Structure 1
Amino acid sequence: MSALKAGDDFPEGVTFTYVPYNPEQGSVTACGIPIKYDASKEVKEKKVVIVSVPGAFTPTCQNTHVQGYIEKLPELKAAGVDEVIFISYNDAWVMSAWGKANGVKGEIIFASDDGTPFSTSLGWTLGARTARYAILVDHGKVVYAEKEPAKDVGVSGVDAVLAKL
Protein backbone atom coordinates (compact mmCIF):
# COMPACT_ATOMS: atom_id res chain seq x y z
CA MET A 1 0.00 0.00 0.00
CA SER A 2 1.07 3.58 -0.46
CA ALA A 3 -0.16 6.87 0.93
CA LEU A 4 -3.92 7.28 0.94
CA LYS A 5 -5.64 10.00 -1.02
CA ALA A 6 -9.17 11.32 -1.39
CA GLY A 7 -11.38 8.86 -3.24
CA ASP A 8 -9.50 5.74 -2.10
CA ASP A 9 -11.24 2.97 -0.23
CA PHE A 10 -9.96 2.65 3.32
CA PRO A 11 -7.72 -0.46 3.34
CA GLU A 12 -8.72 -3.83 4.76
CA GLY A 13 -6.96 -5.40 7.73
CA VAL A 14 -6.25 -2.21 9.69
CA THR A 15 -6.48 -2.64 13.46
CA PHE A 16 -5.37 -0.57 16.39
CA THR A 17 -5.19 -1.45 20.09
CA TYR A 18 -6.78 0.68 22.80
CA VAL A 19 -7.99 0.60 26.37
CA PRO A 20 -11.67 1.63 26.46
CA TYR A 21 -12.43 4.32 29.01
CA ASN A 22 -13.95 2.96 32.18
CA PRO A 23 -14.84 5.22 35.14
CA GLU A 24 -13.64 2.59 37.62
CA GLN A 25 -10.20 2.89 35.99
CA GLY A 26 -10.32 6.63 35.44
CA SER A 27 -6.99 7.29 37.13
CA VAL A 28 -4.07 8.04 34.82
CA THR A 29 -2.14 5.23 36.49
CA ALA A 30 -4.91 2.62 36.03
CA CYS A 31 -3.92 0.19 33.30
CA GLY A 32 -7.05 -1.49 31.98
CA ILE A 33 -7.08 -4.23 29.37
CA PRO A 34 -6.27 -3.37 25.75
CA ILE A 35 -8.65 -4.55 23.03
CA LYS A 36 -8.54 -4.46 19.24
CA TYR A 37 -10.24 -1.71 17.29
CA ASP A 38 -11.03 -3.03 13.82
CA ALA A 39 -10.62 0.25 11.95
CA SER A 40 -11.38 -1.28 8.55
CA LYS A 41 -14.76 -2.53 9.79
CA GLU A 42 -15.65 0.54 11.87
CA VAL A 43 -15.01 3.12 9.15
CA LYS A 44 -17.40 1.35 6.77
CA GLU A 45 -20.32 2.31 9.01
CA LYS A 46 -19.24 5.75 10.24
CA LYS A 47 -17.58 9.06 9.53
CA VAL A 48 -14.23 8.81 11.31
CA VAL A 49 -11.22 11.09 11.75
CA ILE A 50 -7.92 9.29 12.36
CA VAL A 51 -5.20 11.58 13.66
CA SER A 52 -1.65 10.27 13.97
CA VAL A 53 1.00 11.86 16.13
CA PRO A 54 4.68 11.00 16.72
CA GLY A 55 4.16 10.49 20.44
CA ALA A 56 1.84 10.97 23.39
CA PHE A 57 2.82 13.77 25.77
CA THR A 58 5.33 15.28 23.30
CA PRO A 59 5.26 19.10 23.02
CA THR A 60 3.44 19.77 19.72
CA CYS A 61 1.24 16.69 20.11
CA GLN A 62 0.17 17.68 23.62
CA ASN A 63 0.08 21.46 23.48
CA THR A 64 -1.35 22.01 20.01
CA HIS A 65 -2.57 18.91 18.22
CA VAL A 66 -4.70 17.05 20.76
CA GLN A 67 -5.95 20.25 22.43
CA GLY A 68 -7.45 21.51 19.17
CA TYR A 69 -9.42 18.30 18.68
CA ILE A 70 -10.61 18.27 22.29
CA GLU A 71 -11.74 21.91 22.10
CA LYS A 72 -13.48 21.53 18.74
CA LEU A 73 -14.98 18.07 19.27
CA PRO A 74 -18.50 19.57 19.41
CA GLU A 75 -17.92 21.17 15.98
CA LEU A 76 -16.68 17.87 14.56
CA LYS A 77 -19.74 16.05 15.96
CA ALA A 78 -22.06 18.76 14.59
CA ALA A 79 -20.46 18.21 11.15
CA GLY A 80 -21.35 14.51 11.33
CA VAL A 81 -18.14 12.95 12.67
CA ASP A 82 -18.98 9.79 14.60
CA GLU A 83 -15.50 9.07 16.02
CA VAL A 84 -12.14 10.74 16.43
CA ILE A 85 -9.23 8.36 16.92
CA PHE A 86 -5.76 9.49 17.95
CA ILE A 87 -3.04 6.97 17.11
CA SER A 88 0.65 6.83 17.85
CA TYR A 89 3.46 4.31 18.02
CA ASN A 90 3.05 4.39 21.83
CA ASP A 91 1.43 1.32 23.37
CA ALA A 92 -2.25 1.23 24.32
CA TRP A 93 -1.55 1.95 28.01
CA VAL A 94 0.40 5.13 27.27
CA MET A 95 -2.27 6.27 24.84
CA SER A 96 -4.96 5.57 27.45
CA ALA A 97 -3.05 7.56 30.07
CA TRP A 98 -2.66 10.42 27.59
CA GLY A 99 -6.40 10.59 27.06
CA LYS A 100 -7.07 10.49 30.81
CA ALA A 101 -4.42 13.15 31.49
CA ASN A 102 -6.32 15.40 29.09
CA GLY A 103 -9.67 14.75 30.79
CA VAL A 104 -11.04 12.70 27.88
CA LYS A 105 -13.53 10.10 29.08
CA GLY A 106 -14.23 8.08 25.97
CA GLU A 107 -15.22 10.94 23.64
CA ILE A 108 -12.02 10.37 21.65
CA ILE A 109 -10.35 6.98 21.20
CA PHE A 110 -6.65 6.98 22.06
CA ALA A 111 -5.13 3.95 20.32
CA SER A 112 -1.82 2.38 19.43
CA ASP A 113 -0.57 1.71 15.92
CA ASP A 114 1.48 -0.89 17.77
CA GLY A 115 4.69 -1.51 15.82
CA THR A 116 3.43 1.09 13.28
CA PRO A 117 2.08 -1.39 10.68
CA PHE A 118 -0.60 1.00 9.40
CA SER A 119 1.61 4.08 9.28
CA THR A 120 4.44 2.06 7.71
CA SER A 121 2.09 0.71 5.02
CA LEU A 122 1.32 4.33 4.08
CA GLY A 123 4.98 5.35 4.17
CA TRP A 124 4.03 7.84 6.86
CA THR A 125 6.54 7.28 9.66
CA LEU A 126 9.32 9.25 11.32
CA GLY A 127 11.93 6.58 11.89
CA ALA A 128 10.34 4.13 14.34
CA ARG A 129 7.50 6.52 15.18
CA THR A 130 4.22 7.29 13.48
CA ALA A 131 4.29 10.52 11.48
CA ARG A 132 1.88 13.40 12.02
CA TYR A 133 -1.11 13.06 9.70
CA ALA A 134 -4.90 13.11 9.49
CA ILE A 135 -7.31 10.93 7.56
CA LEU A 136 -11.04 11.57 7.20
CA VAL A 137 -13.05 8.50 6.20
CA ASP A 138 -16.74 8.65 5.36
CA HIS A 139 -18.38 5.20 5.30
CA GLY A 140 -15.27 3.49 3.94
CA LYS A 141 -14.19 6.19 1.48
CA VAL A 142 -11.19 8.40 2.18
CA VAL A 143 -12.31 12.03 1.94
CA TYR A 144 -9.04 13.60 3.12
CA ALA A 145 -5.58 12.26 3.90
CA GLU A 146 -2.58 14.49 4.49
CA LYS A 147 0.79 14.04 6.15
CA GLU A 148 2.48 17.04 7.69
CA PRO A 149 5.39 18.29 5.59
CA ALA A 150 7.07 19.89 8.62
CA LYS A 151 6.77 20.11 12.42
CA ASP A 152 3.38 21.77 12.35
CA VAL A 153 -0.32 20.92 12.40
CA GLY A 154 -1.28 22.83 9.24
CA VAL A 155 -2.72 19.84 7.35
CA SER A 156 -3.46 17.45 10.22
CA GLY A 157 -4.87 19.84 12.79
CA VAL A 158 -8.54 20.14 13.60
CA ASP A 159 -9.07 23.26 11.47
CA ALA A 160 -7.77 21.52 8.33
CA VAL A 161 -10.11 18.57 8.95
CA LEU A 162 -13.10 20.80 9.75
CA ALA A 163 -12.54 22.60 6.44
CA LYS A 164 -13.06 19.26 4.63
CA LEU A 165 -16.36 18.42 6.36
Structure 2
Amino acid sequence: MIEQGQNLPQATLSELTKDGMVNHDVTELFAGKKVVLFAVPGAFTPTCSESHLPGYVVLADKLKEKGVDLIACVAVNDAFVMKAWGEAQNASELLMLADGDASFTKALGLEMDTGAFGGVRSQRYAMIVENGVVTTLNVEPPKSFEVSKAETILAAL
Protein backbone atom coordinates (compact mmCIF):
# COMPACT_ATOMS: atom_id res chain seq x y z
CA MET A 1 0.00 0.00 0.00
CA ILE A 2 1.18 3.52 -0.76
CA GLU A 3 2.51 5.40 2.25
CA GLN A 4 2.99 8.99 3.31
CA GLY A 5 6.09 10.46 1.72
CA GLN A 6 5.74 8.43 -1.48
CA ASN A 7 4.94 9.72 -4.95
CA LEU A 8 1.65 8.79 -6.53
CA PRO A 9 2.07 6.03 -9.11
CA GLN A 10 2.08 6.70 -12.82
CA ALA A 11 -1.50 6.24 -14.03
CA THR A 12 -4.24 7.66 -16.19
CA LEU A 13 -7.65 8.69 -14.86
CA SER A 14 -10.58 9.69 -17.08
CA GLU A 15 -13.01 12.57 -16.88
CA LEU A 16 -16.00 13.24 -19.11
CA THR A 17 -16.26 16.99 -19.71
CA LYS A 18 -18.63 19.07 -21.81
CA ASP A 19 -15.95 18.87 -24.53
CA GLY A 20 -15.65 15.09 -24.38
CA MET A 21 -13.40 12.52 -22.72
CA VAL A 22 -10.19 13.75 -21.10
CA ASN A 23 -7.52 11.30 -19.98
CA HIS A 24 -5.46 12.82 -17.18
CA ASP A 25 -1.90 11.72 -16.51
CA VAL A 26 -1.81 11.61 -12.70
CA THR A 27 1.77 12.90 -12.54
CA GLU A 28 0.94 15.92 -14.70
CA LEU A 29 -2.44 16.57 -13.06
CA PHE A 30 -0.96 16.79 -9.54
CA ALA A 31 2.34 18.49 -10.44
CA GLY A 32 2.85 21.73 -8.53
CA LYS A 33 -0.50 21.49 -6.76
CA LYS A 34 -1.88 20.77 -3.31
CA VAL A 35 -4.63 18.22 -3.92
CA VAL A 36 -7.22 16.52 -1.76
CA LEU A 37 -7.93 13.15 -3.36
CA PHE A 38 -10.60 10.93 -1.95
CA ALA A 39 -11.90 7.58 -3.14
CA VAL A 40 -15.20 5.85 -2.75
CA PRO A 41 -16.16 2.22 -3.37
CA GLY A 42 -18.80 3.27 -5.90
CA ALA A 43 -20.75 6.16 -7.32
CA PHE A 44 -24.41 6.35 -6.31
CA THR A 45 -23.88 3.98 -3.35
CA PRO A 46 -25.44 4.93 0.02
CA THR A 47 -22.58 6.22 2.21
CA CYS A 48 -20.78 7.67 -0.80
CA SER A 49 -23.86 9.61 -1.96
CA GLU A 50 -25.34 10.55 1.41
CA SER A 51 -22.17 11.54 3.27
CA HIS A 52 -18.77 11.18 1.64
CA LEU A 53 -19.11 13.19 -1.59
CA PRO A 54 -21.56 15.75 -0.11
CA GLY A 55 -19.08 16.57 2.67
CA TYR A 56 -16.48 17.61 0.11
CA VAL A 57 -19.05 19.56 -1.90
CA VAL A 58 -20.12 21.52 1.21
CA LEU A 59 -16.55 22.14 2.43
CA ALA A 60 -14.91 22.82 -0.97
CA ASP A 61 -14.54 26.55 -0.30
CA LYS A 62 -13.05 25.98 3.16
CA LEU A 63 -10.57 23.44 1.75
CA LYS A 64 -9.53 25.90 -0.95
CA GLU A 65 -9.12 28.63 1.70
CA LYS A 66 -6.52 26.32 3.31
CA GLY A 67 -4.48 26.29 0.09
CA VAL A 68 -5.97 23.30 -1.72
CA ASP A 69 -5.76 23.79 -5.48
CA LEU A 70 -7.81 20.78 -6.50
CA ILE A 71 -10.34 18.43 -4.89
CA ALA A 72 -10.70 15.16 -6.74
CA CYS A 73 -12.99 12.19 -6.23
CA VAL A 74 -12.00 8.85 -7.76
CA ALA A 75 -13.93 5.60 -8.05
CA VAL A 76 -13.66 2.38 -9.97
CA ASN A 77 -16.51 3.41 -12.26
CA ASP A 78 -16.55 4.69 -15.81
CA ALA A 79 -16.33 8.39 -16.68
CA PHE A 80 -19.99 8.52 -17.76
CA VAL A 81 -21.13 7.34 -14.32
CA MET A 82 -18.75 9.72 -12.53
CA LYS A 83 -20.01 12.68 -14.56
CA ALA A 84 -23.67 11.80 -13.89
CA TRP A 85 -22.97 11.31 -10.18
CA GLY A 86 -21.11 14.63 -9.96
CA GLU A 87 -24.01 16.42 -11.65
CA ALA A 88 -26.56 14.71 -9.36
CA GLN A 89 -24.53 15.82 -6.32
CA ASN A 90 -23.82 19.41 -7.51
CA ALA A 91 -20.10 18.62 -7.36
CA SER A 92 -19.05 21.25 -9.90
CA GLU A 93 -16.11 22.36 -7.72
CA LEU A 94 -14.68 18.82 -7.69
CA LEU A 95 -12.90 16.81 -10.34
CA MET A 96 -14.81 13.55 -10.79
CA LEU A 97 -12.26 10.98 -11.94
CA ALA A 98 -12.89 7.49 -13.26
CA ASP A 99 -10.52 4.59 -12.66
CA GLY A 100 -12.50 2.29 -14.92
CA ASP A 101 -10.07 -0.64 -14.91
CA ALA A 102 -8.93 -0.07 -11.30
CA SER A 103 -5.31 0.30 -12.48
CA PHE A 104 -4.69 3.43 -10.35
CA THR A 105 -6.40 1.87 -7.33
CA LYS A 106 -4.35 -1.32 -7.71
CA ALA A 107 -1.11 0.68 -8.14
CA LEU A 108 -1.91 2.38 -4.82
CA GLY A 109 -2.53 -1.02 -3.21
CA LEU A 110 -5.96 0.18 -2.07
CA GLU A 111 -8.21 -2.18 -3.98
CA MET A 112 -10.73 -4.56 -2.45
CA ASP A 113 -12.72 -7.35 -4.05
CA THR A 114 -16.42 -7.02 -3.33
CA GLY A 115 -17.24 -10.24 -5.16
CA ALA A 116 -20.56 -10.37 -6.93
CA PHE A 117 -21.58 -7.00 -5.47
CA GLY A 118 -19.31 -5.03 -7.79
CA GLY A 119 -16.01 -6.84 -8.26
CA VAL A 120 -12.78 -4.96 -7.69
CA ARG A 121 -13.42 -1.56 -6.12
CA SER A 122 -11.46 1.01 -4.17
CA GLN A 123 -11.23 1.07 -0.42
CA ARG A 124 -12.61 4.29 1.05
CA TYR A 125 -9.78 6.75 1.69
CA ALA A 126 -8.72 10.37 1.54
CA MET A 127 -5.27 11.81 1.03
CA ILE A 128 -3.54 15.12 0.78
CA VAL A 129 -1.05 15.20 -2.07
CA GLU A 130 1.51 17.98 -2.52
CA ASN A 131 3.28 18.11 -5.88
CA GLY A 132 2.57 14.41 -6.41
CA VAL A 133 3.77 13.32 -2.95
CA VAL A 134 1.31 11.87 -0.42
CA THR A 135 1.59 13.95 2.75
CA THR A 136 -1.50 12.60 4.53
CA LEU A 137 -3.15 9.21 3.97
CA ASN A 138 -6.33 8.19 5.78
CA VAL A 139 -7.66 4.74 4.85
CA GLU A 140 -10.95 3.63 6.37
CA PRO A 141 -11.24 0.25 8.06
CA PRO A 142 -13.99 -1.89 6.47
CA LYS A 143 -17.52 -0.56 7.02
CA SER A 144 -16.22 2.66 8.61
CA PHE A 145 -16.56 6.30 7.67
CA GLU A 146 -14.53 8.61 9.90
CA VAL A 147 -10.96 9.28 8.79
CA SER A 148 -11.77 10.06 5.13
CA LYS A 149 -14.50 12.61 5.86
CA ALA A 150 -14.07 16.12 4.50
CA GLU A 151 -14.12 17.47 8.06
CA THR A 152 -11.20 15.22 9.04
CA ILE A 153 -9.14 16.27 6.03
CA LEU A 154 -9.95 19.95 6.60
CA ALA A 155 -8.67 19.64 10.16
CA ALA A 156 -5.44 18.04 8.86
CA LEU A 157 -4.63 20.99 6.58
Q: Give me the TM-score of the superposition, normalised by structure 1.
A: 0.86
Cα distance in 1 for residues equivalent to 2:20 and 2:81: 12
Aligned residues: 151
Flag structure 2 segments of 5+ consecutive residues without an equivalent.
114-119
What are the ranges of 5 or more consecutive residues in structure 1 without an aligned counterpart?
23-31
Q: Distance in 2 between matches of 1:70 and 1:152?
A: 20
2:24 corresponding residue in structure 1: 37
Encode CA deviations 1:98-142: one digit per residue, 9 max, x unaligned: 00011233x101111111011112221121111111121012221
8 A Cα contact 1:89 1:115, kept in partner:
yes
Q: Which residue of 1 aligns with 2:76?
A: 89
SS of the residue 1:9 aligns to: coil
Aligned mate of 1:121, from 103, 107, 112: 107
Of 138, 158, 161, which residue of structure 1 is paired with 2:130?
Answer: 138
The aligned amino acid for 1:10 is: L
The answer for the alignment partner of 1:100 in structure 2 is 87
Partner residue of 1:151 out of 137, 143, 153: 143
Alpha-carbon separation, structure 1, partners of 2:77 and 2:138: 21
As a proportion of its length, which structure holds more strand? 2
What is the distance in 1 between the residues matched to 2:108 and 2:133? 16
SS at match of 1:135: strand
Query: Do the aligned residues in 1 keep the contact of 2:86 with 2:96 (CA within 8 Å)?
Result: yes
Q: By how many angstroms is 1:153 displaced?
A: 2.2
Partner SS, residue 72 of structure 2: strand
| Identity fraction in percent | 36
Query: 1:91: Cα distance to partner?
Result: 0.2
The runs of at least 4 consecutive aligned structure 1 residues that moved more than 4 Å come to none
User: How far is the alpha carbon of 1:51 from its aligned partner?
Assistant: 0.7
